[in-house]
Amino acid sequence: MESGEIAEEHTWTQSPESQWDDDEPRFSDALRSAADSEPGFGTRPASPGAAMPNRTPVEAGFAPSPRAEYARQAETEPHLEPQLRASLQSRAEQEAETEPHFGAAEDDPRLHAAGAPPIFAEPPPSRAHEHHFAVTREARKRAPGRWLAYVVGGVIALALIIVLIAQLAWWRREAVMVYWPDSQPLFARVCAQLGCQLTPPRDIDGLQVEASDLRQIDGPHRLELRVPLRNRYGIALAYPAIELTLFDAKNEVAIRRILWPQDYLPPGTTVAAGLPAHTTQTMIVRLDSGNAIATNFRVQIFYP
């Protein structure tokens, strides 16, 4: 039993290198001694504060890429086995192929392939304004009797306009006769058909009072007034009313009297005929001033 135990212990104390396969990479004795003599390879510094020998400090934010690290190990460490060196070089080449290269996009033959769209090309123009479906619009066929409706409607509208103008002219017939004297016979015939009486127009602007005269007759209280009245228009105008105002010595109103056409027209004059066109008539009026003594007077005409 003791010999067996010793043999078992002898088995476990053997070097594990004897159990390696021949195909697995391993260090030779020369490489092992070189690795042991290499400072910092596979060992840690004796103290935490000791610096790593032959190591260049790397600036923060600019650490070397894995490809560069693999290539540097394959070139600067000649003691590595050829298989390990070849493995590192192949891995570095793979990293070089997969690593992006900025600035070489224009030289890439894949970008110049036929039909390949440019990377930074402008977007195609929008076709939102184009119609997706072509639409053909046909003109509406008018109904056969539609033109007749248009004609009838136009005739009715024209008749209504004429009636409106006629009503407006009848309402303003005096102004129409003043500015268009030839229309007076037309209005006279219409009025005869309607059973009305056409009177001369009343336009105070067409009458003019010329120089008037007031004098005493048969005593200081008997007065005679002469008022020349002229029609400036080309049509007979209605006779106006005359306002006579007498003033005393203090220039205060002593007497004020209204004279109607029947008061100042000569006997036998037709009031309804009006004052003929472009004529002047002198109106003579005699009156009694009573106890008032008139020193001045004023004459005005108006239509009530």
Query: In the structure encoding, which two tokens stand for residue 189, read together?
Result: 């015939």
Query: Stretch 13-29: mean pLDDT, rounded?
Result: 49
Q: What is the pLDDT of residue 231?
A: 94
Q: What is the CATH number of domain 204-302?
A: 2.60.40
Domain spans, the chain: 65-94, 148-194, 204-302
8 A C-beta contact, residue 234 and residue 278 = yes
pLDDT at site 249: 82
The CA dihedral of 201, 202, 205, 207, to the nearest 10 degrees, is 90
Taking only the tens place, the pLDDT of each residue in 84-107 is 666 766 776 776 665 555 554 555
Residue 60 or residue 160, greater confidence = 160
